[in-house]
Amino acid sequence: MTSDRASDSFIGQLPKAELHLHIEGTLEPQMMLDLAARNDVTLPYKTADDVTRAYEFENLQDFLDLYYAGMSVLMQERDFHDLTWAYLQKAAADGVRHAEIFFDPQGHTDRGVNFETALDGIWGALEAGRRELGISSKLIMCFLRHLSEDSAFETLVAAKRHKDRIFGVGLDSSELGHPPEKFARVFAEARAAGFTAVAHAGEEGPIDYVKGALDILKVARIDHGNRALDDADLVARLVRERIPLTMCPLSNLRLKVIPTLAESPVKRALDAGLLVTINSDDPAYFGGYINANYRGIEEALGLGRAELTTLANNSFTGSFLGESEKQVHLDRIAQYAAAQT
């Protein structure tokens, strides 16, 4: 008889979507060094181990400081292509069949890299991923919330020229001190232009930031959303409106949002009926891609196959795929789970 407790083999090729993935956060230490050498960029590290030793974060800002330093090696279109292709190969090995990927153009344009250089490199790899790996994708451009709304407007102007490739807009970077209302006007213009809106909220920020993302930015999805679990009325609303939460367990652990994986809100979110999903956020910095996140919470929270199957179902239900496309993936999950029993 097979135990309800999931095995590594069950998680391994369980079909899943990844909805919260910063492509710049997949920059592995060795690639960082290789691209630095390719582009004649000086880093304060000699070896990949030197880079890894820097990955001790006390909070979100500690991580962001290193994250933006790492971006400095991304200079050419092929750098962005290589970065994205490396992620897609890892994702395919983890059973990912659809990915909705964030990128941070301001992190590149502010250091003299053209918007199109980043976009063309990422997009070329995503197209190759569709053809060669069978991974569909959507690209979401994030505004950096520590920068001004005027800067976000400039980025939106550039994005409008590429509406055929950029599906949505998001909001990331330093959360505390940068509430959703700071970006009310640019999100309104982005939605009017046809971009779907999402936003990071409730990772380190308060419950009001989650509410503001919903009511002011009018987002279709909340990225992270941990703090939402502290407000029963908000939980009821999220359940009622079927607003997905894209949670990132290993990210929360490494950034000390939670003290241990056993404190992850994923199980409470599932039990509350929330449309919670599991994602890797910035996996090169946080110690694991999507299956490492599934395995981490499976062990820490004692999740069984039924709950992990629900999380996989949620990943497609909470995606921006069309309903018929979602159903294809949901059917595949059902077939996979049945074959594993």
Cα–Cα distance, 281 to 172 (Å, whole number) = 11
Residue 149 known to be catalytic:
no
Cα–Cα distance, 317 to 148 (Å, whole number) = 33
Cα–Cα distance, 71 to 91 (Å, whole number) = 21
For 170, the 3-state DSSP assignment is strand
Determine which one of 203, 204, 298, 307 is catalytic: 203
Please compute Rg for the chain using Cα positions: 19
H helices then E strands: how many in the chain? Answer: 17, 8
**Is residue 314 within 8 Å of residue 20, measured between CB atoms?**
no
**Bridge partners, residue 200, by sequence:** 223
Tell me the one-letter amino acid at 201.
A
For 119, the 3-state DSSP assignment is helix
Known catalytic residues?
A: 203
